[in-house]
Amino acid sequence: MQRAKSKSSPERDNQSKKTTKPAEKNMHYASASRARERDRKSRSFGRGNGVFRCLSGKTAKLLILIAVGFAIYSFASSHWYFDKNNGEKVHNDQNVQKTVEERENVLAHGHDRDQNQLDLVDDDEDDDDDDDTDSFSEEDDDGESEVIADEEYKEQDIAREEDNVQPEKNYDHVFKYHVLQTLTNTDRLPHLKKRFEVCLKSILDKSSVDLLFFFVVDGPSKIYLETALQDITNQHISKAKFQFIFLDIDALAKELAPLVEMMQEQIQGNHPYYKDAIFFLSTMLHKELLPEYVHRVIMLDTDLVFMSDIKELFEHFDHFQGDNIMGVVHEQQPVYRHIFSLYRSQNPGTRVGNPPPDGLTGFNSGVLLLDLDRMLQSVHFEDYMRPEKVVELRDKFHFKGHLGDQDFYTLVSMEKEDLFYNLPCSWNKQLCSWWKDKGYADVWDQYYVCKEKINIYHGNCNTPIPF
């Protein structure tokens, strides 16, 4: 908008016209015109004839966007880099030069999901001066250090893929109490599902401690368990926390078979149900079959009903003394009185096969307390697992069994009974009475009766549990 002209006298106007020179008048108008033009151009930036007079408006905008983007990228890349081996962002201090060794450390811990940041430490000046080969430098003309690092990365990736090593999740800081159970063939024997649920619910209902379960399963049983465990969780049966880990029975049996093949051949009968190596699992649990944080584990059959807190059962570990490596309850039928009958007839007055408390009755492995550290350290236990020792015991006692691991423990106890802690009968009250009418009625009660308050009922040989 033009400024309004001020009023003046005619004389003053005439005088001004007379004193103004034509050249000055032209310069005045030219300067005013250039000033207006500069002002107009400064306001017309981006319309094709602004400050970037040599470029179009779109080109100028594009250049600005590129410059801004490059600045953001430069800033971000100086503070973070994406470790494609780790799959996550790792902090990178701007002025710290990573060495080959540090990059290898990143890869070495690439599968550790708890390590979200890499702590970089400046090397001492003396180390930098004395050992230039450790640093990853861009001044190497042939790029030798970079090539070596890349090759080492590839080698580590290949080794990791071949080993397929997955990090163990350590539950030890939360779950101090470990339980192992085997559940298979639920697709063919559906009654096993109900039996398992009754057992697990009775444990969780009374447990005052957090429990970590290891379930040895086949494919169908794992599918069933995933649903059953979720249902049990939704029912809020457990007063404490519990977690579980599945162990594949096929993979475990494959690993176990060469370790227990000798036992199967030497002490096992022809009963087809126990030809699978998995029924000797407890004898080898100390051989790194479980995570290293497991030191004590209770191995349970699934046909049990708990009447007491499982914590009280775990407390029996503290009663182990001397050479004790495991806790187990005596067999409550005259099973081994029968199996050792030939030896008994040749050795009148022997304790072998006699009823408790003074006899060497044999064991029932429905409830086993396994101290894995003691098992590993026991020279005696290791000696009895030697093939020649097993053959010696088998021949000495004329033994031929059919009950898996409990046959082996029973056979060893005939010579080395103090390897075993005698768990009270109340912690595995066996209900099976198959042997009662097989010629042992006169001694039946000496084996079968348990006068203590029952903590666990065991419905072995498919005996119903009346609770």
Confidence (pLDDT) at 267: 78
Domains of the chain, each with CATH number or no CATH: 22-74 (no CATH), 80-163 (no CATH), 177-462 (3.90.550.10)
Report percent pLDDT > 70 for the chain.
Answer: 63
Q: Is the peptide bond before 357 cis (omega within 30 degrees of 0)?
A: yes
Let me know how long the chain is.
Answer: 467
Higher per-residue pLDDT: 192 or 402: 192
- Model confidence over 1-52: pLDDT tens digits? 444 444 444 444 444 444 444 444 444 444 445 545 555 544 444 444 444 4
* Burial profile 317-335: b = 16 or more Cβ within 10 angstroms, e = fewer: beebeebbbbbbbbbbbbb
Angle 387-397/405-413 helices, nearest 10 degrees? Answer: 70
- Model confidence over 314-373: pLDDT tens digits? 999 999 999 999 999 999 999 999 999 999 999 999 999 999 999 999 999 999 999 999
β-strand pairing of 420-422 with 326-330:
parallel
Q: State the DSSP code for 6.
A: P
56-to-66, 67, 81, 410 alpha-carbon distances in Å = 16, 17, 37, 95
Report percent pLDDT > 90 for the chain.
Answer: 53
- Among 332, 294, 307, CA closest to 423: 332
Q: Is the pLDDT of residue 312 over 50?
A: yes
Spatial separation of the C-alpha atoms in residues 465 and 459, rounded to whole Å? 6
Confidence (pLDDT) at 383: 96
Q: Is the pLDDT of residue 208 over 70?
A: yes
Band the pLDDT of 239: cuts 50, 70, 90: confident
- How confident is the prediction for the chain on average, in pLDDT? 76
Confidence (pLDDT) at 106: 33
- Model confidence over 92-136: pLDDT tens digits? 333 333 333 333 333 333 333 333 333 433 444 444 444 443 333
Residue at token pair 């304790």: 351
Spatial separation of the C-alpha atoms in residues 256 and 250, rounded to whole Å? 10
The dihedral sign for the CA sequence 132, 134, 139, 141: positive
What six digits make up the tokens of 295?
Answer: 């030191």
Average confidence (pLDDT) over 234-263: 89
